[in-house]
């Protein structure tokens, strides 16, 4: 682990090492997007790819993360141009279903603020999916977020600025 090293020193070492940088990566910017896809072929080559295309992220290599947002994270607009094959880290909810069967996926996130001084500490994110309506998934999402908050963060932090994103559809293929 590298600690107390100035950012410029890490970058300089990375250049001397042909671009390899060792240290903790902390995501700073995030954007929200949703997508739906349906296809007659396999899930990953078909409907999943089409959902990524609908969301505008089909050109990325997608890495998935657990449900924690750093305190320095800030919401930005989705980039207009993407380098084909670049990496994007994501927290996502995915639901697959059969023809005529509802598919709903959703994410909820909220920010933790220190009770003693009001400073932003970080964020919590929960995902859920199933055959339920958006309203039902939203209730499950809120219950999940509350459980996460009350079982590890409620003594020291307030949970505020909660945002829910859900999307549902019934495929006809």
Record the tokens describing residue 77, joined without a space. 């607009």
pLDDT per residue as tens digits for the range 4-54: 333 343 444 444 445 565 667 788 899 999 999 999 987 778 999 999 999
Pairing of strands 68-70, 29-30: unpaired
Q: Check residue 54 and give its pLDDT.
A: 96
Euclidean distance between CA atoms 51 and 44, whole angstroms: 10
Question: Which pTM does this prediction carry?
Answer: 0.83
Q: Check residue 92 and give its pLDDT.
A: 94
Q: Check residue 82 and give its pLDDT.
A: 84
Q: Which domains does the chain have, with CATH numbers?
A: 26-77+86-169 (3.50.20.10)
pLDDT per residue as tens digits for the range 53-74: 999 999 999 999 888 999 999 9
Q: How many CA atoms lie within 13 A of 163 on its CB side?
A: 9
Q: Check residue 26 and give its pLDDT.
A: 80
80/124: higher pLDDT: 124
Q: Read out DSSP for 110-123?
A: EEEEETTT--EEEE
**Largest alpha-carbon pair distance within the chain?**
56
Q: Read out DSSP for 53-85?
A: HHHT-TTSEEEE--SEEETT-EE-PPPS---TT
């Amino acid at each position: 682990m590298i600690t107390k090293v100035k950012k410029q020193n890490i970058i300089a070492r990375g250049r001397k090492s042909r671009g390899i940088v060792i240290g903790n990566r902390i995501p700073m910017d995030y954007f929200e997007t949703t997508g739906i896809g349906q296809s007659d072929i396999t899930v990953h080559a078909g409907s999943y790819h089409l959902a990524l295309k609908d969301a505008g992220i089909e050109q990325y290599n997608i890495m998935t993360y657990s449900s924690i947002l750093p305190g320095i994270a800030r919401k930005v607009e989705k980039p207009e141009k993407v380098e084909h094959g670049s990496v994007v880290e994501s927290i996502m909810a995915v639901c697959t279903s059969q023809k005529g069967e509802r598919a709903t996926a959703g994410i909820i996130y909220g920010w933790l603020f220190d009770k003693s001084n009001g400073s932003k500490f970080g964020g919590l994110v929960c995902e859920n999916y199933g055959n339920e309506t958006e309203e039902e998934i939203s209730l499950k999402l809120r219950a999940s977020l509350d459980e996460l908050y009350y079982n590890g963060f409620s003594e020291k932090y307030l949970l505020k600025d909660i945002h829910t994103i859900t999307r549902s559809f019934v495929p006809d293929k």
